Amino acid sequence: MTLPLTVRLMYHGFRAAITGAVILVIGWIAFIPATTAEASALGQTPRTDYPAGLRQMRAAKVFVTIAPDPAYDLAARAMGPEVTGWMLRLVVAQVAAGNLPRPPPKTAPAPSDRDIDGPRFLQVD
């Protein structure tokens, strides 16, 4: 039994539209530089193209926009009994707003007692 041509055309058109939308969203998350609003939400200067946390923030925005209410409960159930659906919803909403945990500032390494002056091929015992 074959389906009528109109049903097959609708199926393939819907499948192509979903595939195109997924490619578009993944491209936006991965390759588009940050806007000034996104950079300022992440606490960076507006000229920063890819601030730390940009991709996580965009993925959280997509999840908040698309995911229905039961999706948070299912994801919380997969994470374990200590996480509830409303906690996960709160965390995802905060990440989508740009409130990400900041990495600690980089500090210079402490000077070593084993640094030597002169050629580096000598080994200190």
pLDDT in tens, 43-72: 888 888 888 889 999 999 999 999 999 999
**Parent domain of 59:** 52-100
Determine, yes or no, domain membership for 121: no
Lowest mean pLDDT among 33-42, 55-64, 77-86, 95-104: 95-104
Residue 110 has pLDDT above 70, yes or no: yes
Amino acid in position 96: A
Is 76 a member of any domain?
A: yes
What is the pLDDT at residue 14?
Answer: 98
Confidence of residue 112 (pLDDT cuts 50, 70, 90): confident
Residue 123 scores a pLDDT above 80: no
Counting the structural domains of the chain, the total is: 1
- What HEC string does the chain produce? CCCCHHHHHHHHHHHHHHHHHHHHHHHHHHHCCCCHHHHHHCCCCCCCCCCCCHHHHHHHHHHHHHCCHHHHHHHHHHHCCCCCHHHHHHHHHHHHCCCCCCCCCCCCCCCCCCCCCCCCCCCCC
| 31 located within any domain | no
Span 85-90, mean pLDDT?
94
What is the per-residue pLDDT for 109?
76
Q: Could you tell me the pLDDT band of residue 116, with boundaries at 50, 70 and 90?
A: low
Residue with tokens 């998350």: 29
**Residue 70 placed within a domain:** yes
Per the structure block, which two tokens stand in for 35? 């806007």
